Structures are given as C-alpha cells and as structure tokens.
Amino acid sequence: MTDPRQAAPRRPKEWKDKTMNKMIVAALAVAVIGGAGYFAMVQNEPPGATGPRTVESPPEGASMVKVALPEELSGQAQMGKRAFDAVCAACHGENAAGRNGMGPPLVHKIYEPSHHADAAFLLAVRNGVRAHHWRFGSMPPQDGLTGAEVKSITHYVRELQRANGIE
C-alpha cells in the first residue's frame, strides 16, 4: 500500500489562486462584519444575525428591539420579572427591549451568556456599569436588591434571551 498522502493528486496550478481568492473574500468578510459591528455600536443595531429584530429609529424612550415573549416563564423568572419591572425596566425597557436614550436592550447578542455571564448581572447591580458598549452613559449601582432577587432577574432575562435565539 502506498502512503495515501503520497497518492494524493497534485494540486492543480490554479489551486493557489483560488486559495488566495478565498482568503481575500474571508478578509473582506471580516472587515465588513467588523465594520458592521462598529456601526452597530454607534447606531444601536444588534451586531449579530441572532437575536431580536431592531426597531428602526425608535422614538425617545421606546423599545429598541422587538422581543418575542416565551410561551411561559418559570416561577423564578416570574419573580425576576416583578423585580425587573420595578427597578430595571425604567432604563432597560419593558421585556428588556431597551429604551432609546436611556438603556440598552438586555435581550441582545452582546449580553449572551458567553459574553456576559450571570455574574455580570450581579456586578452591574452592585457596582454599576461604566458606559462601554452604548452611548447612554453609565449605569448607576442599583441599591435595595438582594442577591436572590438579582438571580431571579438574571433568570428572567435569560428566558427572554432564549426565546429570541440568544443562548
């Protein structure tokens, strides 16, 4: 038996050109996606293909994304919703859909669990958040919530995220 590597056909002459073309296309794609990501940050558009659809130029205070609601919320998420509505919705909007001019949607690709783990929610509430992803200014610390309440809020947001393809 010959070594299959030796038996492999020689690469046709144009192989190199094709590969170069593919590399150029890939580089362009990266540039376009990177550019889109930047544009997204500036324009409040979600950077990824997943996640809810953006509302086109929402008026001040209006939802920034269209959030699909889960069929039902778990018990913990229902408790979280109550706390969220009382404390967070003023800036993050009803159903965490954002409020233009006040706070970003948490049902958003950038807040997927791999990018903002559950601990990020507790840190945000305890310490506040310095503006870095958006242009709404910083989030002040939110007093008066227990760790358990923040955990419930996080559950609620995760269930909303999952209903919108953000995992």
Point out which residues bind ligand HEC (CB under 6 A).
87-88, 90-92, 102-104, 116, 120-121, 124-125, 129, 131-134, 136-137, 139-140, 142, 145, 153
Instruction: Report yes or no: 83 and 77 within 8 Å, Cβ to Cβ.
Output: no
CB of residue 33 to ligand HEC, shortest distance in Å: 20
- Spatial neighbors of 151 by CB under 8 A, at least 6 apart, are 76, 80, 118, 122
Question: Is residue 35 helix, strand or coil?
Answer: helix
In this complex, which beta carbon is closest to ligand HEC, that of residue 22 or of residue 115? 115
CB of residue 63 to ligand HEC, shortest distance in Å: 15
In this complex, which beta carbon is closest to ligand HEC, that of residue 112 or of residue 134? 134
In this complex, which beta carbon is closest to ligand HEC, that of residue 28 or of residue 131? 131
CB of residue 5 to ligand HEC, shortest distance in Å: 49
45 to each of 33, 56, 98, how far by Cα in Å?
13, 9, 12
Give the amino acid at 79: M
